Structure 1
């Protein structure tokens, strides 16, 4: 047995020796071998969002830089005279893989600039890309009017209104530049009431005691037809107490609410059957202690059978079609009993004085039960159903 064991051991040694080559052990069966890498690092590449020679560039166009196989080391913008334009680089909010250079102050219209970006590659070699571009030269520039005014306190029905001097064809670009923020968040949406006017309102009346800010970043924004925004504007206003009054033309009463509390219930006279008041929510836009009512302002000559020119007191305008809440001592006998006005809401002098002192621009006067149809006015925003209102946005 010892002899047999020695023979087996000798055979095993012979076989093992036959698997060796020059004394170097073979790799274990099944273990892969990986040759060392000899590929050189890829050079860095820098790409710019603007092509060299680009023209008619908006001063607000993002100057974006993308770097592959390396790291961005610098971005420099100089004007036509070679002076460096102060600015800063940050990650693009739309794409973290991009860097965006933003000037400290906006670029000028009709000016030439050169953008240069540099990077260091993984191979330690620098890379660079440059583009010279020219910003657009507007045919004309425009700054729209905005209401409410900065610092104003308004009622819960006042929309934000932006007025343009010429028709706007680039409505989507304009809307993107109009940013509304409020201390109480709302679902407000812009709606174009015409080609020269856009309004913003929530689905319901504004919450009372809300601070609202409109940032109108219209510089560098095309309005259409060669017209561009002249400047940026910021308007901040406050929504005050909730004043919503209900005019019931059928019962001839005016119910005045302060918040949820009924504070007055006045007898009144609305528009006669020949001159009915319009139904729907009206918004207070103007207040005059003394005013001359003139039928010619809405197309009825003063010397016609239905014309008039009458001095009134405590006039609170609720539409641009001649409807006011005002004192009418001549109709006190009909107030609470019949509708005899030319479309206004007639009150006694004492009641009109109280309502005038209570009211503020933006308050709501809802007229119901009249035969006059639905209000059509420059500020008839709350008569438009919400889904229809939303459809009036260029971004819908």
Structure 2
């Protein structure tokens, strides 16, 4: 809080007068003390403002004086606790911040009082009303808070309503990590945005997403409902390479090759997709059902088969799993419906080794590149960066 005073000038004039000689004994003229300027106070939002974001800065500016009091009440006259601090953007402005965020659809009155050299204090008041959203949204976020995931797991934010102002949302999604990265957001659709670095995450890294979306205008009457913070850990680096051409899968723990397994990948009629796949789900027992991707069980090519140690690597129906019926083909021929087949013992080892977020890179297939919902690492980096609303 600041005070601008004319007292220094007045004191200097008085001292100057006291130091003058009397000369010929004539009288010395009394110094002229200028009149102190009046205090001026300005506040924002403007009085009568409506549809104000509940997180908009409430700013106070004082000229030729010092702010001495700020009082805020809601429409019912109840006091709203808060504190005043210097604005980080403009040191000449002070900002009042409530202890808890202001509510949507509520009227508030702020009164600011300042004093200066002049005897009369000054006041300014503003009454404003926060916006009433047509709808409020809180996104779903993955990974979950406290989870440990592999180096390939992107941060995924999902909304159940299309987002019109993607830039406003993205500006309020802040990612920090114990090992800094060059990560960028990419919008997969109007309802889904992902974050990843240019390369796989550094292993053993702590990551936090602050989704400060309360009071953010998403567009078309939709506003953020709440703030969320999600913290998770990137665990050990597990990247496996499954080659459909050589029928082998190399499993790496960090930079060390720890296993080389014979495999059977997708058949020529049902080839596995090329590219980096991300482990998203692990089932000790699972029933593989062709109807989940549009092939009826009772049709030619349909099936409903129980399997063990199923590690899902895409939402296109691809798993690494035990397939004792294809052991004779593993290492020699591709006969699966797109999955990576292993013997039961090898599948059990891989299941116990794996964690969500691990990477399985499939190569050598006649199929195209993976295009399932988590195909983040198959998108070239410059294309990925272009998918940001802030590019």
Q: Same fold (TM over 0.5)?
A: yes
Q: Is the counterpart of residue 286 in structure 1 residue 281 in structure 2?
A: yes
Partner of 1:32: none
Q: Is the counterpart of residue 80 in structure 1 residue 107 in structure 2?
A: no
Secondary structure in 1 matching 2:311: strand
Q: Which residue among 183, 189, 201 is the counterpart of 1:188? A: 183
Moved more, 85-94 or 117-126: 117-126
Q: Is the counterpart of residue 373 in structure 1 residue 351 in structure 2?
A: no
Moved more, 296-305 or 97-106: 296-305
Partner of 1:159: 154
Aligned 1:168-187 pairs, distance under 5 A: 168-187=163-182
For 1:180 and 1:41, locate their aligned partners in 2 and report how far apart those are by CA, in whole Å: 51
TM-score normalised by the chain length of structure 1: 0.88
Q: Is the counterpart of residue 110 in structure 1 residue 88 in structure 2?
A: no
Q: Which residue among 371, 382, 386 is the counterpart of 2:377? A: 382
Q: Is the counterpart of residue 203 in structure 1 residue 220 in structure 2?
A: no
Q: Is the counterpart of residue 230 in structure 1 residue 225 in structure 2?
A: yes
Aligned 1:247-286 pairs, distance under 5 A: 247-286=242-281
Partner of 1:346: 341
Secondary structure in 1 matching 2:258: strand
TM-fit CA distance, 1:49: 2.4
TM-fit CA distance, 1:341: 1.1
CA deviation string 1:5-57 (max 9, x = no partner)? xxxxxxxxxxxxxxxxxx87xxxxxxxxxxx7764333222222211111111
TM-fit CA distance, 1:209: 0.9
For 2:39 and 2:367, locate their aligned partners in 1 and report how far apart those are by CA, in whole Å: 73
TM-fit CA distance, 1:140: 2.1
Secondary structure in 2 matching 1:168: coil
Aligned residue-pair number = 365
For 1:72 and 1:392, locate their aligned partners in 2 and report how far apart those are by CA, in whole Å: 46
CA contact (8 A) 2:323 2:344 kept: yes
Q: Which residue among 303, 309, 312 is the counterpart of 2:304? A: 309
For 2:292 and 2:280, locate their aligned partners in 1 and report how far apart those are by CA, in whole Å: 16
Q: Is the counterpart of residue 137 in structure 1 residue 132 in structure 2?
A: yes
CA deviation string 1:204-239 (max 9, x = no partner)? 111111111112222222223222222222211111
Secondary structure in 2 matching 1:187: coil
Partner of 1:331: 326
TM-fit CA distance, 1:95: 2.0
TM-fit CA distance, 1:61: 0.8
Moved more, 359-368 or 378-387: 378-387
Partner of 2:355: 360
CA deviation string 1:69-93 (max 9, x = no partner)? 2222222211112121111111112
TM-score normalised by the chain length of structure 2: 0.89
TM-fit CA distance, 1:122: 4.2
TM-fit CA distance, 1:277: 1.0
CA deviation string 1:271-303 (max 9, x = no partner)? 112211111111000000111111111122222
Shift in CA distance, 78/372, structure 1 to aligned 2, threshold 3 Å:
same
Moved more, 307-316 or 354-363: 307-316
CA contact (8 A) 2:44 2:126 kept: no
Query: Which structure 2 residue ranges, 5 or more long, are not aligned?
Result: 1-22, 25-30
Secondary structure in 2 matching 1:387: helix
CA contact (8 A) 2:69 2:112 kept: yes
CA deviation string 1:243-268 (max 9, x = no partner)? 00011111111100000000000000
For 2:379 and 2:41, locate their aligned partners in 1 and report how far apart those are by CA, in whole Å: 52
Partner of 1:14: none
TM-fit CA distance, 1:380: 0.6
CA deviation string 1:322-346 (max 9, x = no partner)? 0111111111111111111111111
Secondary structure in 2 matching 1:382: helix
TM-fit CA distance, 1:97: 2.1
For 1:185 and 1:125, locate their aligned partners in 2 and report how far apart those are by CA, in whole Å: 54
For 1:37 and 1:273, locate their aligned partners in 2 and report how far apart those are by CA, in whole Å: 101
Q: Is the counterpart of residue 44 in structure 1 residue 39 in structure 2?
A: yes
Moved more, 129-138 or 353-362: 129-138
Query: Which structure 1 residue ranges, 5 or more long, are not aligned?
Result: 1-22, 25-35
